Structure 1
């Protein structure tokens, strides 16, 4: 994506300014960086692809100095024996109190938004969180962050500038018709690098916060993180995930049934690109179709058509049908004030797609 219309509300930077009622916040989250570093030490491949050499060197130094800490074997066991990885560690981090408390927020311990790894095995969760908090204190992780603030501040400022220039922030709430998300937070992932994630934290009172963790994949000549138009696309993609995830939590069984049927026809291709279940495929397909709708309404129809072609090449052969369904939804908002109201129609459109996948952009 080469250009994005510049129409973004002001971005709030939590680390330097007071909290106002803004739609998007850009910040470095220390909880996310530490949990990522622990799973890096535990050997998870997706946490060992860092593209910021000076950050990698700093983490190596920190962990070498704390090589005997009990958190390391716990993280290694979770990462290897129990296959905990990808967005699961970050999900836990986002459900923790800020430092120095760092315990799971009590009312979030069984939240639907907390990855099932942590709710299924609460004893293991308790042990890891205790070790996490202990490592934070004993390694003086707060001092580590201060020592590297030039890097983290530059990263945050550059990501903030990218979001301000390139993301139409009000679009997400308007499109999904979901006002439950009080704040969207975009954060750089210095350790996750080639991966990016979109998550939410859902409170019992129905309020939610949405998060986009954007992997840092590029540096400038000084070794500092930089961002470009490809990262704008990633931000847009990940900011749709919290909305889609909530829709799928509430969705009727009929949507899961049609998703299962769709998946059977493309399972091998979906597994090849990392989507091992029908639920994961449907979540990703809706997000990718939402990106197409975003491009159609904020950039141009040709940008949307280009994106459809790209997604077909990725393996989402019926993405044009899903995108057409989202067009139908968004052009009939008098009938569908929010996406939940459109789900029965989506089920029917997916059934039609199974019968005759669209070949038109």
Structure 2
């Protein structure tokens, strides 16, 4: 699939991709609470490189010009390796790409100079990877890791990785991880922030359930800004809102898959997707599940801004930005979540509030024509 520059720019402005600064919007304020320590992870770099070589557009952005040049120079001769062919097949026949690749990365461990799937108490790969495919991919990944001497490339780039994590840690120093368990009522979690240089402009929020351990929630952050020496450059205004967004996914997405919620939301989700299909396609969301989860995550980002005492103009600017992207019901959803916050004695967890959310989307789907007409009349 050939991507035009215009299409790439559209992708970069979605949640799954980098959010460049929008200077017309007020800058959010984030209270300093607890620093986030980021890492560069060989699992993320390796899988991103594999799917870059396989030709996936979302793994072929070129903001990190020198790093991409190094990847091409080092790994170009390995494009005919079996794992690259298999990755292409998975992409072409099963739509493998985007966050599904990073979910596999999060479910891997690296011990004894090889990768294997971790033991889990609950699978986060279900619906994303068929186990037969995952096992075959990991076997081929180990072969590729050794054949390409990936560790040599990885160690040779420690200096840029160190710059990336140091600068990202500075940019995210005001991030508040304590907000999430308090807000969602899900306290058994550990956080991992990964700077994915080979992801370039893409950002993902996978999670994993290691057996006998806390749930691990990831924010796998891309890198889309660089200084004049081709070193990654991070600013809080550019990256912190996306970091907040990505961690929300691990607390939101799984609820749609539980307790029959998906079946209950399928009709309204489908109606809203049909109504907003052009806008959602621009954001690279082409299924109703993504529309539902993205609606909630974006509304929860607004609640984070409110809870961290941002000025009303910042909150309203964020709501307007999401409406422009096609989530016309953001303001009303934010208000609904305000009811959740004020009724925690009745709704101790986000999951317990989900029936109200289902009703909200049913009502929104029933009124979507009027909602669209009212929105466009204001433009």
TM-score of the aligned structures, taking structure 1 as reference length: 0.87
Indicate whether 1:74 and 2:82 are aligned.
no
SS of aligned partner of 1:197: coil
| Residues 119 and 211, structure 2, Cα contact 8 Å, conserved in 1 | no
Indicate whether 1:45 and 2:60 are aligned.
no
Q: What are the equivalent positions in structure 2 for 1:1-361 lying under 5 Å apart?
A: 2-12=27-37, 26-99=38-111, 100-107=113-120, 111-114=122-125, 116-119=127-130, 122-165=131-174, 167-181=175-189, 183-203=190-210, 207-228=214-235, 229-251=237-259, 252=261, 253-298=263-308, 299-356=310-367
| Residues 42 and 77, structure 1, Cα contact 8 Å, conserved in 2 | no
Q: Deviations over 1:1-47 (max 9, x none)?
A: 523223231334xxxxxxxxxxxxx1111101100000000001111
CA deviation after TM superposition for structure 1 residue 130, in Å: 0.9
| Residues 53 and 79, structure 2, Cα contact 8 Å, conserved in 1 | no
CA deviation after TM superposition for structure 1 residue 204, in Å: 5.7
Relative distance call for 1:118 and 1:4 in structure 2 (3 A) is same
Alpha-carbon distance in 1 for matches of 2:62, 2:311: 34
CA deviation after TM superposition for structure 1 residue 289, in Å: 0.4
| Residues 66 and 230, structure 2, Cα contact 8 Å, conserved in 1 | yes
SS of aligned partner of 1:59: helix
User: More displaced, 143-152 or 133-142?
Assistant: 133-142
CA deviation after TM superposition for structure 1 residue 323, in Å: 1.1
Alpha-carbon distance in 2 for matches of 1:255, 1:301: 31
**Greater RCO (Cα-Cα under 8 Å, separation 6 or more):** 2
Relative distance call for 1:268 and 1:51 in structure 2 (3 A) is closer
CA deviation after TM superposition for structure 1 residue 206, in Å: 8.2
Q: Deviations over 1:47-76 (max 9, x none)?
A: 110311121121112213434533222223
CA deviation after TM superposition for structure 1 residue 301, in Å: 2.6
Q: Deviations over 1:257-303 (max 9, x none)?
A: 44334334333432343221111100100000001111111123321
Question: Which 5+ residue runs of structure 1 have no aligned equivalent?
Answer: 13-25
Alpha-carbon distance in 2 for matches of 1:79, 1:254: 30
CA deviation after TM superposition for structure 1 residue 178, in Å: 0.9
TM-score of the aligned structures, taking structure 2 as reference length: 0.83
SS of aligned partner of 2:132: helix
Relative distance call for 1:295 and 1:138 in structure 2 (3 A) is same
Alpha-carbon distance in 1 for matches of 2:61, 2:215: 30
Kindly report the root-mean-square deviation, in angstroms, between the aligned alpha carbons of the 2 structures.
Answer: 2.3
| Residues 120 and 209, structure 2, Cα contact 8 Å, conserved in 1 | no
Alpha-carbon distance in 2 for matches of 1:133, 1:27: 22
Q: Deviations over 1:229-248 (max 9, x none)?
A: 12111111111010011222
| Residues 321 and 350, structure 1, Cα contact 8 Å, conserved in 2 | no
Alpha-carbon distance in 2 for matches of 1:107, 1:344: 28
Alpha-carbon distance in 1 for matches of 2:271, 2:232: 42
CA deviation after TM superposition for structure 1 residue 151, in Å: 0.4
Relative distance call for 1:174 and 1:271 in structure 2 (3 A) is same
